[in-house]
């Protein structure tokens, strides 16, 4: 399997795409063609455990990685998760299911890929005979940073620098990062919002001068964000696994279509679902759920991506994003894989702050996706009412996805020509990741201390508190640096030494 850049360039191997992180010209790597999962292979997956299912899907993209070694590494990675199944599918009622992706070491869906990426990175370097030290440079809106820090902690030949927006993550997310163990990690707060942080980090990736300065010190730059194809591909697997679980539990028959609702910020998680559909998984509609920062909702409804709008800090902070990096990969497909057109649109986004789809592109996008958004009151109401009805606590990000999923299902039910389809809502974080917001949604009361919030949520819901979050309470912060966005590279150079 070869990979090509959304903005042009020569095809590269999977190992090269993983190690480089970004493609030529600042583009993103995409598969040269989508590998197919046959009906026989999908049927065979029914009897597999999750690591085996993931190995089959990941192996179709990264075929130069030894299959037995990949399965062994995946099995070891997912043994770190709490519970027997790393990605359990929960039946709420007929036709409504929740895919829980928060049972990993950092209690967020990023763990699914970031417990595996260290192996993919290390093996990729070995295949390419790379001897330089790898610097994983990551901007985070809350969850990717901690998952990357934990995944690469004390990894051989790797350093990890994570930059997060000051005051732009939940208190629990911040505490997870600033208390991180490991001799090869650095955590830095950035003045501004996530887009300020992400733009500054992307600028470093696109700067040959920055890469040259790092190379002089024997350092090769890479990424753990979903701009890295090695982050994206492992996420495809859990959509296949959810479908298989629906079949094995006799909720659906093989071949039936299923809808997925995904809380969406940087567009990586829902793009993985789109890739699963392109591989042959019977997915009906992909529901793109946004919070008050609803740039993606407007994009799918109007065909215009316009980042020049107010930025809101919300109770679902991992989705507080106005520039969704992974949307570039979808654009590449919608425009017929025309790298020149992608370059033109990315230049327009960087200059005028907007770009538009052609009518035929918007029609295709609307056939694939339904987009909706949930304001703060919508999210609170959804979390509260869902718990009252089903005794199931949603985190605020999942509350957004559930609100939009129900909106979509109501509209679909109004059309007498459409048959109902099962809806799987993707739950991306534990309720304990944003305990103050969840406690407010459940009770209408505020609590200032995160751990008091955890305790009170537990008293109300009886949901088990993850061991990794319990341990945070008495860990002192290690990292206290705060920088302006234009000082990020200076901090990077101080870190690499």
- How sure is the predictor about 141, in pLDDT bands with cuts at 50, 70 and 90? confident
Tell me, rounded to whole angstroms, the distance of Cα 360 from its chain centroid: 28
What mean pLDDT, rounded, does the chain reach?
Answer: 96
Whether the pLDDT of residue 497 is over 90: the answer is: no
Whether the pLDDT of residue 167 is over 90: the answer is: no
**Cα–Cα nearest to 57, from 386, 333, 279, 293:** 279
- How sure is the predictor about 168, in pLDDT bands with cuts at 50, 70 and 90? confident
**Cα–Cα nearest to 364, from 400, 332, 342:** 332
The CA distances from residue 410 to 212, 216, 403, 414, 420, in Å, are 54, 58, 11, 6, 10
Query: How many Cβ atoms sit within 10 Å of the Cβ of residue 52?
Result: 15
pLDDT tens digits, one per residue of 352-376: 999 999 999 999 999 999 999 999 9
- How sure is the predictor about 156, in pLDDT bands with cuts at 50, 70 and 90? confident
Phi and psi at residue 398, to the nearest 5°: -70, -30
Q: What is the pLDDT of residue 53?
A: 98
Mean pLDDT in residue range 69-96: 97
Q: Is residue 426 assigned to a domain?
A: yes
Calpha distance 84→366 (Å, rounded)? 38
pLDDT tens digits, one per residue of 210-240: 999 999 999 999 999 889 999 999 999 999 9
Q: What is the pLDDT of residue 463?
A: 96
pLDDT tens digits, one per residue of 362-415: 999 999 999 999 999 999 999 999 999 999 999 999 999 999 999 999 999 999
Q: Is residue 112 assigned to a domain?
A: no
**pTM of the full structure:** 0.95
Q: In CATH, what number is assigned to the domain containing residue 241?
A: 3.40.50.1100
Q: Is residue 225 assigned to a domain?
A: no
Q: Is residue 69 assigned to a domain?
A: no
The CA distances from residue 409 to 95, 167, 370, 384, 465, in Å, are 10, 35, 11, 19, 32
Strands (E), 246-366: 258-263, 283-290, 304-306, 354-356
Query: For residue 350, what are the domain limits?
Result: 89-104+230-463
Q: Is residue 436 assigned to a domain?
A: yes
Counting the structural domains of the chain, the total is 1
Mean pLDDT in residue range 469-497: 94
**Cα–Cα nearest to 71, from 237, 247, 276, 225:** 237
Is residue 245 within 8 A of residue 252, CB to CB? The reply is no
Q: Is residue 159 assigned to a domain?
A: no
Mean pLDDT in residue range 295-303: 98
Q: Is residue 58 assigned to a domain?
A: no
Q: Which percentage of the chain shows pLDDT scores above 90?
A: 95
Tokens of 269: 């998680």
Q: Is residue 129 assigned to a domain?
A: no
Name which residue leads in pLDDT, 29 or 226.
Answer: 29
- How sure is the predictor about 24, in pLDDT bands with cuts at 50, 70 and 90? confident
Mean pLDDT in residue range 331-338: 98
**Cα–Cα nearest to 270, from 126, 370, 360, 376:** 370
- How sure is the predictor about 143, in pLDDT bands with cuts at 50, 70 and 90? confident
- How sure is the predictor about 153, in pLDDT bands with cuts at 50, 70 and 90? very high
Mean pLDDT in residue range 38-52: 98
Q: What is the pLDDT of residue 225?
A: 87
């Amino acid at each position: 399997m070869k990979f090509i850049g959304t903005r042009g360039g020569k095809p590269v191997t999977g190992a090269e795409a993983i190690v480089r992180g970004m493609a030529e010209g600042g583009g993103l790597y995409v598969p040269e063609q989508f590998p197919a999962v046959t009906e026989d292979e999908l049927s065979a997956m029914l009897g597999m455990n999750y690591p085996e299912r993931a190995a089959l899907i990941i192996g179709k993209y990264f075929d130069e990685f030894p299959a037995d070694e990949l399965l062994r590494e995946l099995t070891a990675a997912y043994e770190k998760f709490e519970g027997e199944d790393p990605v359990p599918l929960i039946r709420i009622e007929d036709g409504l299911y929740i895919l829980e992706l928060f049972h990993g070491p950092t209690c967020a869906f990023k763990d699914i890929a970031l417990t595996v990426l260290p192996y993919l990175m290390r093996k990729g370097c070995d295949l390419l005979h790379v001897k330089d030290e790898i610097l994983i440079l990551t901007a985070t809106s809350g969850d990717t940073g901690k998952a990357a820090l934990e995944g690469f902690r004390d990894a051989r030949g790797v350093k990890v620098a994570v930059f997060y927006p000051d005051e732009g993550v939940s208190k629990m997310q911040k505490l997870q990062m600033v208390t991180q163990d490991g001799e090869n990690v650095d955590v830095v707060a950035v003045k501004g919002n996530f887009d300020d942080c992400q733009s500054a980090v992307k600028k470093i990736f696109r700067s040959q001068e920055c890469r040259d300065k790092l190379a002089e010190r024997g350092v090769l730059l890479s990424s753990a964000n979903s701009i890295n194809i090695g982050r994206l591909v492992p996420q495809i697997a859990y959509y296949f696994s959810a479908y298989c679980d629906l079949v094995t539990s006799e909720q659906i028959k093989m071949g039936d279509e299923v809808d997925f609702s995904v809380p969406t910020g940087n567009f990586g998680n829902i793009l993985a679902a789109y890739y699963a559909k392109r591989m042959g998984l019977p997915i009906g509609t992909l529901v793109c759920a946004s919070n008050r920062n609803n740039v993606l909702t407007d994009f799918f409804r109007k065909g215009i991506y316009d980042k020049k709008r107010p930025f809101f800090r919300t109770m679902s902070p991992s989705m507080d994003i106005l520039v969704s990096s992974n949307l570039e990969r979808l654009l590449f497909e919608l425009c017929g894989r025309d790298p020149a057109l992608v370059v033109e649109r990315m230049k327009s986004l960087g200059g005028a702050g907007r770009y538009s789809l052609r009518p035929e592109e918007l029609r295709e996008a609307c056939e694939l996706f339904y987009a909706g958004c949930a304001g703060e009151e919508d999210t609170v109401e959804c979390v509260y009412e869902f718990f009252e009805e089903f005794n199931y606590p949603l985190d605020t990000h999942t509350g957004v996805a559930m609100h939009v999923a129900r909106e979509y299902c109501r509209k679909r039910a109004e059309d007498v020509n459409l048959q109902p389809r099962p809806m799987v809502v993707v739950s991306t974080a534990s309720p304990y990741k944003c305990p103050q917001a969840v406690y407010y949604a459940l009770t209408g009361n505020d609590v200032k201390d995160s751990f008091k919030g955890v305790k009170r949520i537990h008293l109300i819901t009886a949901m088990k508190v993850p061991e990794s979050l319990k341990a945070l309470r008495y860990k002192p912060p290690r990292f206290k640096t705060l920088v302006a966005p234009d000082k990020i590279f200076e901090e990077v150079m101080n870190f690499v030494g």
